[in-house]
Amino acid sequence: MRPDSATGLRLAGAQTLALTRRSVFTEWRQLGNVLPGIVFPLLLAAVYTHQFERVILLPGFPVVDSFLDFVLPASLVQSVSFGATEAGTELARDIENGFFDRLRSSPCGRLPLLLGRLGGALVVAAAKGVFIVAIFLAFGAEIAGGPAAAVVIVATAVLLVLAIGGLGQVLAILTGSQEAVNATFPLVFTSIFVSSAFFPTNLMSGWFRQVAEANPVTWIIDPIRRLILEGWSWSDVGQALGVPLVISAVTVTMAVVTLNRKLGAS
């Protein structure tokens, strides 16, 4: 690698790290926006664990000791989904208040403008994921796949945030509006309920089952759940990490292309 290329990469890395730090500090100052993503999924898990205690006895239901084990993936995905669009919201906020234009006039590269905000969202998602898993374990949940499976579960949640965050950044660049980005949250949240998050698809029927089986959230939650209930499986690890990774590659690429087109036209 040529020296100038190495210097450029180091500079881009430093810029991305600085913007990631700024994003994390912004979240820390607004804990009121973070707490619902922790409290609500935990309350819902507590209610569902008691309410659906007898559901686990249904023929065809996965073998579990407690519904708490079954609902862990759903609660984790719910938790991170609360801040999944934050990378796009932050970008839209910077566009609205003019900070984005100031960054453009600085030596900051184009890619760090996107990656810095995505990095902040990933750090927050990882922290929430670790906390949610720790709370579940403290209340008796068990992960058959062990610590390695727990790491994969949190990593999958982080990749899901990256996928949704990339899409949010596309909307932010196109509209420059926080409201437009935030409008995607109900769609993200609803997609969790129209999946296998709270009930196995093999016990569903009709159109709901068809929608749930075609839902990418189901493709992510099912392998996570098997890692929790059945134990370590490389195929489940590959699916759990691969599905959100592919979606992330698509959405982040879309964000980069959209940004380049916008800056090229301005």
> Does the pLDDT at position 221 exceed 90?
yes
Tens-digit pLDDT profile for residues 134-173? 999 999 999 999 999 999 999 999 999 999 989 989 999 9
Query: Residue 4's pLDDT band (boundaries 50, 70, 90)?
Result: low
Contact 143, 228 (CB under 8 A): yes
Of residues 216 and 36, more confidence is placed in 216
Distance CA 266, CA 257 (A): 14
Q: Which pLDDT score, from 0 to 100, does residue 75 have?
A: 93
Mean pLDDT value across residues 28-45: 81
Query: Residue 230's pLDDT band (boundaries 50, 70, 90)?
Result: very high
> Does the pLDDT at position 3 exceed 70?
no
Instruction: Tell me what the pLDDT averaged over the chain comes to.
Output: 87
Distance CA 111, CA 130 (A): 28
* DSSP symbols for 23-70: HHHHHHHTHHHHTHHHHHHHHHHHHHHHHTTTGGGSTTS---S-HHHH
pTM (predicted TM-score): 0.87
> Does the pLDDT at position 86 exceed 60?
yes
Tens-digit pLDDT profile for residues 105-136? 777 777 888 888 888 889 989 999 999 999 99
